[in-house]
């Protein structure tokens, strides 16, 4: 099987970068509000800068997330450092969803043979609004599961 790399679509990445770019404006708005209401512009600026840094990290981390599959391992990055697991160490791959008022959020969770779990990054399944759905998610999930099964079959033949 050829190596596979799953990343967010261009539209989703663009929205994360737009949100990240708007965060410095948020810090200025909070500073002005604190300055006018509480005469503590420095406190407001500090709070605004902290919020801006947090959301900048969050949005940039999600925009650059990915999942990469090869014959030997799966590598992923979301908000944390990249994680890499050999296919032989994968016990389970499961899809999860959470429904909110804004839509449904989908996640893919990997469980290793030692019991550690983590979520894969780069899937086109952040939020589906208004019933539009996410057409890419089932296909992407199936590709990852196919890699896992192919690696198990190869291990059974050679092992």
Q: What 3-state class would DSSP assign to 64?
A: coil
Instruction: Give me the pLDDT at residue 76, please.
Output: 93
Instruction: Give me the pLDDT at residue 34, please.
Output: 75
Instruction: Give me the pLDDT at residue 89, please.
Output: 93
Instruction: Give me the pLDDT at residue 124, please.
Output: 59
Structural tokens at position 59: 């949005």
Instruction: Give me the pLDDT at residue 90, please.
Output: 93
Intervals of the chain under pLDDT 50 = 126-133
Q: What is the pTM of this model?
A: 0.74
Instruction: Give me the pLDDT at residue 114, please.
Output: 95
DSSP 6: E
Instruction: Give me the pLDDT at residue 37, please.
Output: 75
Half-sphere exposure of 38 (CA within 13 A, CB side): 10
Instruction: Give me the pLDDT at residue 18, please.
Output: 84
Instruction: Give me the pLDDT at residue 127, please.
Output: 44
Instruction: Give me the pLDDT at residue 135, please.
Output: 55
């Amino acid at each position: 099987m050829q190596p596979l790399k799953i990343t967010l679509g261009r539209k989703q990445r663009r929205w994360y970068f737009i949100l990240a770019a708007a965060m410095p404006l948020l810090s200025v708005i909070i500073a002005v509000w604190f300055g006018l209401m509480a005469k503590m512009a420095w406190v407001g600026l500090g709070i605004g800068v902290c919020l801006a840094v947090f959301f900048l990290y969050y949005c940039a981390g999600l925009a650059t997330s990915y999942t990469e599959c090869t014959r030997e391992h799966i590598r992923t990055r979301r908000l944390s450092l990249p994680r890499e697991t050999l296919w032989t160490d994968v016990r389970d791959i499961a899809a999860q969803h959470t429904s909110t008022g804004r839509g449904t959020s989908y996640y893919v969770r990997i469980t290793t043979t030692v019991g550690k779990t983590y979520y894969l990054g780069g899937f086109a399944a952040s939020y589906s609004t208004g019933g539009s759905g996410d057409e890419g998610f089932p296909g992407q999930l199936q590709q990852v599961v196919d890699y896992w099964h192919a690696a198990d079959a190869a291990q059974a033949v050679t092992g």
